[in-house]
Each structure stands twice: as structure tokens, then as C-alpha cells.
Structure 1
Amino acid sequence: MSRQVFPHEDQSAGVSYLVSSDTDLDQAQMTTIYQRRWKVEEYHKSLKQNASMGKSPTKTFATQANHFFAALLAYTELAALKLRRCLGHFRLKAQLYAVGLKAMYQQLERLNA
């Protein structure tokens, strides 16, 4: 078991416990493994929530495969934007939605004129 204490922005202390069944691991090895696994968790969360992987309305294999491919493509585009803009996936998604909503509102105003 490894115990890590880290400060929060509000000066309170956070504690993280890492546990492994491999008793030969030291704290540095456990931390390295945890960091690698956490990257996988972040990937799955972003793929599901930002690239709509979890919202597939498809029923057939072909449409499911197309949705899966489109979600991976969207994730890849977000990852490239993340590197260029130095922003996280969730911030980028919010900014893209804001731009889309603004464009939609402008179009509605043109149609109402």
C-alpha cells in the first residue's frame, strides 16, 4: 500500500491510497502503474462523454460500426485540438457547443427577419 498526501488549492490536504496485490512493488512503481491506468480511464471517459460513444442509437452491426468509427474520429480530432490549444477535452467541447449555439441563434434571427 502507498499513501500520498497532496495539497488542494484551498490549502487543505488530499490523501490518496494506492493498493496492489503485488507486494514487491515500491511506491514509485505503484505510482507509475496508477498514472498509466488513470490515462486509460481518462481516455474512456472522454470517448464516452465527449465523442458520444455511449449514446449510440444504432441497431445493426453496420450502423454500430459506423458510429464507433465516427466516435473514434471525433476523439482523435479533440485530442489534436487539445494539443494545439492546451485545453482539456471537456473545455473544448464546451467551447464548440458555444460556437454552435451562437451560429444557430444567428441563423434563427435571419430566418425570423
Structure 2
Amino acid sequence: MHELSITQSVVDEVLSRAGSRRVHAVRLQVGALTAVVPASLEFCFDLVAAGTVVEGARLEIDVTPARAACRACGVSFDLPDPVLLCACGSADVSVLAGRELKIVSMEVG
């Protein structure tokens, strides 16, 4: 489960920014193509945050849908699954969105 190491990295970064201030919420942006399971992140978050100023914080996850553009026909389209294939049959596509994995914000107090 790579979500555990990802969550550990998120909490480490939040701790480095929060200092001694209590963290009330952390918002992440996770792309649909990252192969990260949001429910697993949520499960790991409570485990990793235990005993820190992040303990008890809300984890808010925004999933970014996958989107691509076809270089062959010029059409932009949503990707319903990780198969990078345009309706025209071309696999020559450029991913526009869906690979994000970032901390968007944190609420401290």
C-alpha cells in the first residue's frame, strides 16, 4: 500500500509548515491517474497523524478527473479509465489533467 508512504510525506510536509500550531484541516488534490485510493489515504491519515499537531484534522480530498488531448485529431476528452486512447483510435495523446498529487491548503489555528 503506497498510500501509507504518500500520507507520511503529506503529514511530514504539513508538520514542517505548521510548526507548533494545531492543524484543523488538510486539503489534497489527487488526480484520477495517480493510482492513489482516496479511502486508503483517509485511513492512513489518522494513523500517521496520531501524536502530532495534525491529529484530529480533517482530510479533504479533491479528485481531479483525467483529461487528455489527441495529437492526431486535436480533440480534448475525458479519460474514463487509465487507457490513453482517443475515440478516433489514436494513442498519440497528451495528458492534460489527472496526474496531480499535491497539498492544496491547510487550516491551522
The answer, yes or no, to whether TM exceeds 0.5 is no
Q: Which has the higher strand share?
A: 2
Q: Work out which of the two has the higher radius of gyration on C-alpha atoms and give 1 or 2.
A: 1
Q: Compute the TM-score of the two structures, normalised by the length of structure 1.
A: 0.24
Q: Which has the higher contact order (CA 8 A, sep 6+)?
A: 2
